[in-house]
Amino acid sequence: MPKIVVIIPTYNEIENIEAIIKAVFSQSDDIHVLIVDDNSPDHTGLKVKELQKDFKDRLFLEIRKEKSGLGTAYIHGFKWALKREYQYIFEMDADFSHNPKDVVRLYEACQSGGADMAIGSRYVTGVNVVNWPMTRVLMSYFASKYVRFITGMKIHDATAGYVCYKRNVLETINLDTIKFIGYAFQIEMKFKAYIKNFKIVEVPVVFTDRTKGESKLSSGIISEAIFGVISMKVKSLFKK
């Protein structure tokens, strides 16, 4: 594999962090991991520093001053990665909802499959979600249907957070113009790539809800996604 970096944002993930890092590294010796930690009170960052001794020159850590949102954590990570020689840049959750074994499948979709952006999709072949209550499944599923209708993107899982980007996608998108910080961030990144005509491919994955730690989902994040999509689409029409 060429240079690959998996960016994992964290906030209070002490129960998962060691296992997820080791699981990602077990997929290939050529994978690097960047943890972007929002100064977790449970000392997730300190645990990562300990693990850096075992994974020298492969495990990196950026600690921010406070919890500032998923989107800004990824933007921080993207900018860090673009200053280096990484050609494939991943988004991944810390809680094992994204199976580390799928890193290779997403990478291959870009490296040999011709995709500029590969999405680990829960809904491209039905509904592949484990351990979610039905209300959460329906909310997520119809949110993606809603986004597809409003934006015109032919993507089944617009809120997916398991993504592989080719470097040139992130170089082309002006990261300083990304406005959203929650689930709407995931939609906005896909929409920016879509309107720039990058090839987006969905790779079917099974999403398994976390068994350790607490979810960061909130009503504010949901409302941002609902109303932000309309705003994003309208602004794109005026730009045209």
Q: What is the pLDDT along the chain (240 residues), one digit of tens a residue?
A: 569 999 999 999 999 999 999 999 999 999 999 999 999 999 999 999 999 999 999 999 999 999 988 999 999 999 999 999 999 999 999 999 999 999 999 999 999 999 999 999 999 998 999 988 888 888 888 888 898 999 999 999 998 999 999 999 999 999 999 988 877 899 999 999 999 999 999 999 999 987 776 665 554 556 666 677 777 777 777 765
* pLDDT on residue 216: 53
Q: Which residues lie below 8 Å from residue 124, measured CB to CB, with a gap of 6+?
A: 156, 157, 202, 203, 204
* pLDDT on residue 111: 96
- Which run of H or of E encompasses 32? strand 31-37
* pLDDT on residue 217: 54
Q: Name the residue type at position 41.
A: P
pTM of the model: 0.90
Distance (Å, rounded) from C-alpha 30 to C-alpha 84? 15
DSSP codes, 35-54: EEE---TT-HHHHHHHHHTT
Distance (Å, rounded) from C-alpha 120 to C-alpha 201? 9
